[in-house]
Amino acid sequence: MISQPRAGKSIGRFALSEKTLLSIKNLKKVFPLQGEELVALGSVSFDVYPGEFVTIVGPSGCGKTTLLKIIAGLLPKSEGEIHVDEAMFDPTREVGFVFQKALLLNWRRVLDNVLLPIEILKLDKKKYRSKAMEMLELVGLKGFENAYPNELSGGMQQRVSLARALIHDPKLILMDEPFGALDAITREKMNLELQRIWSESKKTIIFITHEINEAVFLSDRVVVMSARPSRMVGAVDIDFPRPRKLEVRTTPQFGEYAVKLYKMLEIT
């Protein structure tokens, strides 16, 4: 993929396709908290285009997890709009969610944990067995399909949850700091794998991370959120050609992107 000239402000080459997969306008979320109100999301707006890799960064507690949960339909919004293009994908079946915690069912073996979405969606489990094995190989867990979760390390558990989020071939994947529990080397490997999965399968990914380098390396666009009550501070388009190699991180341009993001996060 070769990056194309930018159109408009902070929307990137995907604006050329015009139709948004997901459009969020002035989204607000208030939690009741001991008689008072906790504004988790102040006013959040952004668009996601089909096939785009968008990363959201922001300080801890600014509502990133809350935002993903509202998109996934796990939490009701307080105000604002979420528009989903249902012609492009079915939001009830074609979403994959990688949670901040691994959340494996400790009574199921690894393979059956990966197949959980298939069971919930009442798809043919037999058909997906070999795909589940492939997914496990992809995340580097070949040979562990019959292990129980409590026999795995934290990083391995998180990789199982990644395989589980991909098994039903979702169009939109929501990833909440999926690699936070991994060691640096595995994390880099997973970044490369994720880029490969994403570009081969034409999925759309909304990704959350604390790691600026990870954000720049993976994304087409990085969206920055402020502290609570959170709003969008801005966005940075990342114009590196794909597929990106890890070496891209040593280029001056990469550093410039990172500095820009640090400035937006007010860490300078």
Partner 1 sequence: MGKGIKTFIKNAAPKAFNFLLFLVIWQLIVVVFKIKVFILPSPIRVLQHLFYPPIAAKYNWWLHVGATFMEVIVSFVATAIAGIFIAVMICWSPVMNQLLSPIIILFNSLPKIALAPLFLVWFGYGFLPNILVAFMVAFFPVVINSAAGLMAVEEDLLDLVNYLNATKAQIFIKIRIPNSLPYIFAGLKISATMCVVGSIVGEFIAADKGLGYLLRDAQAFIDTPTMFACLFLLSIIGLALFFAIGQLERLVMPWNRRREA
Ligand X SMILES: Nc1ncnc2c1ncn2[C@@H]1O[C@H](COP(=O)(O)OP(=O)(O)OP(=O)(O)O)[C@@H](O)[C@H]1O
- Sites of contact with ligand X (CB under 6 A): 31, 33, 38, 40, 60-66, 100
Q: Are 155 and 183 in contact (CB under 8 A)?
A: yes
**Run of H or E residues at 241:** none
Pick 66 or 113: Cβ nearer ligand X: 66
Residues 113-142, one symbol each (x = binds partner 1 by CB under 8 A, - = not), give ---xx-xxx---------------------
51 binds partner 1 (CB under 8 A): no
**Cis amide linkage into residue 243, ω under 30° from 0:** yes
Burial class (CB in 10 A: 0-12, 13-18, 19+), 29: buried
Residue 106 binding: pick among partner 1, Mg ion, ligand X, none (C-beta 5-8 Å cut-off by kind): partner 1
Residue 105 binding: pick among Mg ion, ligand X, partner 1, none (C-beta 5-8 Å cut-off by kind): partner 1
Burial class (CB in 10 A: 0-12, 13-18, 19+), 60: exposed
Residues in a beta bridge with 96: 173
197 binds partner 1 (CB under 8 A): no
Pick 110 or 206: Cβ nearer Mg ion: 206
What is the number of the residue whose Cβ is closest to Mg ion? Answer: 65
Using CA atoms, how far apart are residues 175 and 54, in angstroms rounded to an integer? 10
Using CA atoms, how far apart are residues 211 and 180, in angstroms rounded to an integer? 9
73 binds partner 1 (CB under 8 A): yes
Residues that bind partner 1 (CB under 8 A): 69, 72-74, 92-93, 95, 97, 99, 101, 103, 105-108, 116-117, 119-121, 148-151, 168
